[in-house]
């Protein structure tokens, strides 16, 4: 049965501007293979699996676009998407992605290109909650104990139940996030939710997933390969 959400234009901005520095490789991490397929292709496929109607916008550095085209040819990757040149920072890259959306209304999910295992149900919930009015931000509870380290070097135990680890997708109504990104960039903007929140808009946390890791370091690649084998 068709729902009002189904009739609402939905977009996904996939931000893929990472380098391979922390991986110890010259290859941008989004292009590294997991299970023989570039990480970025896994990520884009998850959103297509959620809904082929979602309009995908890939934000990629200009210098990496020819490499991406060759990878798509090699892997016969043909998902419909719009490619946009990224900016010098994540804030600027997301702003470029938003500018590529012509619709005045709708919902947009913003997701890290190197989070290839985001569950489809998490994507679905993010759109559903954002449709209700407030931004939807995926988050998970901490597993480890945490301590606060003060400037003088002392530290103290903190109640980990009061904290969450923030993930993507982070999904918002288009008019809300567009207006928020009209602000000057600030160092306090660590993610899209912090940009939206600084403009006076509350956000709602939704249940993320521990499988929704951000592949950043070599040990993350080992985990990713093991996870794929486990799920196959």
Dump pLDDT digits (tens) for 145-198: 999 999 999 999 999 999 999 999 999 999 999 999 999 999 999 999 999 999
Dump pLDDT digits (tens) for 99-110: 999 999 999 999
What span, in angstroms and rounded, lies between the C-alpha atoms of 232 and 229? 5
Is 70 exceeded by the pLDDT of residue 19? no
What span, in angstroms and rounded, lies between the C-alpha atoms of 214 and 94? 17
What span, in angstroms and rounded, lies between the C-alpha atoms of 109 and 217? 25
Kindly list the strands in the beta sheet with 164-173, ordered across the sheet, starting from the edge strand earlier in the chain. 81-85, 55-60, 10-15, 107-112, 164-173, 135-141, 203-207
What residues does each domain of the chain span? Answer: 10-231
Place of tokens 């207006």: 179
Q: What is the pLDDT of residue 17?
A: 83
How far is C-alpha 13 from the chain's CA centre? 8
Q: Hey, how many other C-beta atoms are within 10 angstroms of the C-beta on 107? A: 25
Give the whole-number percent of the chain exceeding pLDDT 90.
91
How far is C-alpha 183 from the chain's CA centre? 21
Residue 89 DSSP one-character state: S
pLDDT-based confidence at residue 26 (cuts at 50, 70, 90): confident
pTM passes above 0.85: yes
Tokens read off for 92: 């600027």
Q: What is the pLDDT of residue 161?
A: 96
Longest pairwise C-alpha distance within the chain: 60
CATH 3.90.550.10 corresponds to the domain 10-231: yes
Contact at 8 Å (CB) between 54 and 47? yes
Dump pLDDT digits (tens) for 30-75: 999 999 999 999 999 999 999 999 999 999 999 999 999 999 999 9
Helices marked H in the chain? 39-50, 65-75, 90-99, 120-131, 174-180, 192-198, 218-231
Q: What is the pLDDT of residue 4?
A: 87
Paired strand residues for 37: 34
Contact at 8 Å (CB) between 170 and 137? yes
Q: What is the pLDDT of residue 20?
A: 58
Give the whole-number percent of the chain exceeding pLDDT 70.
97
């Amino acid at each position: 049965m068709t729902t009002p959400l189904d009739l609402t234009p939905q977009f996904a901005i996939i931000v893929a501007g990472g380098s391979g520095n922390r991986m110890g490789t010259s290859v941008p991490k989004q292009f590294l293979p997991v299970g023989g397929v570039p990480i970025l292709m896994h990520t884009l496929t998850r959103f297509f699996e959620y809904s082929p109607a979602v309009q995908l916008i890939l934000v990629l550095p200009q210098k990496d676009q020819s490499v991406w085209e060759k990878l798509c040819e090699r892997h016969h990757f043909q998902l419909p998407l719009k490619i946009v040149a990224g900016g010098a920072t994540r804030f600027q890259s997301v702003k470029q992605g938003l500018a590529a959306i012509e619709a005045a209304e709708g919902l947009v999910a913003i997701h890290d290109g190197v989070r290839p295992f985001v569950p489809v149900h998490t994507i679905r919930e993010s759109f559903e909650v954002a449709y209700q009015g407030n931004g939807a931000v995926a988050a998970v509870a901490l597993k480890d104990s945490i301590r606060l380290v003060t400037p003088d070097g002392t530290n103290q135990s903190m109640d980990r139940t009061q904290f969450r680890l923030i993930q993507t997708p982070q999904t918002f109504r288009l008019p809300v996030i567009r207006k928020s990104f009209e602000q000057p960039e600030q160092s306090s903007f660590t993610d899209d939710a912090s940009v939206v929140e600084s403009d006076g808009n509350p956000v709602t946390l939704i249940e993320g997933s521990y499988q929704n890791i951000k592949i950043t370091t070599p040990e993350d690649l080992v985990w990713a390969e093991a996870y794929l084998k486990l799920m196959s």
